[in-house]
Structure 1
Amino acid sequence: MKFSSTQVLDGALAVVRTATRMIAVSGQPATYAAADTGRLSEAALTTADFTLAAGDISGRKVTIAAKSGLSVIAPGTADHIALLDPVSATLLYVTTCPAQALVAGGTVSLASWQIEINQPV
């Protein structure tokens, strides 16, 4: 049988919680620079935007808070969300989202979402 303590799982999620920017992008960025220059919309994050809890399946999860009324910086189809740590210029996490056409000067809302790390099997 395999096991991981919640401290190990929370440690990985603690790195995710260092993100201070959440951006909507078109396509999956491979680097921090690609994410930063390709951002269509952006939200500032604080530690209050991250909630740690037991996982839905097993292990642990972090829920990232919804953000509404965000300004659209550039036009495009947002189909990925990225979490960035600008202090270390690190692309921390990228996930897909329902594709949404964005118009510059408009606004967009990003629903809350989760990252879950399951217990090893």
Structure 2
Amino acid sequence: MGKLKPFVVVVDDDESVSRAIKRLLRSIGIAAETFASGDAFLDVLASMPSYRPDCVILDVQMPGINGLEVQRRLSGNGMPVIFITAHDEIGVREHALAAGAVAWLRKPFNDELFVKTVRAALDGVPPV
């Protein structure tokens, strides 16, 4: 019996970004599901206790609750969080990393760096 595919959730209000990331992850053998808002993702988590992604990729700025609030609500559950954002404000980045995010990538990011970051998060090692 083989190991299950890693499962990653992408939460980003930009559908084209979510689609591209999902396609990239699938191309390297990682299952992915996308959500257009933090609210939608948290609703699924709350309604399905068995729903447990191996890693969560969050946009910082989204309508409704933002990525930082999603991260706060996920705190203590052991799911690695990677932030992706077009807005790289140093204080926000420091806050997210101090709160346990494993990485912070500025959009547009290099696919190779993104894949390396996701693999490191799934393996439980700090990204390079």
TM-score (norm 1): 0.24
**Bigger CA radius of gyration:** 1
Greater RCO (CA < 8 Å, at least 6 residues apart): 1
More strand by share: 1
More helix by share: 2
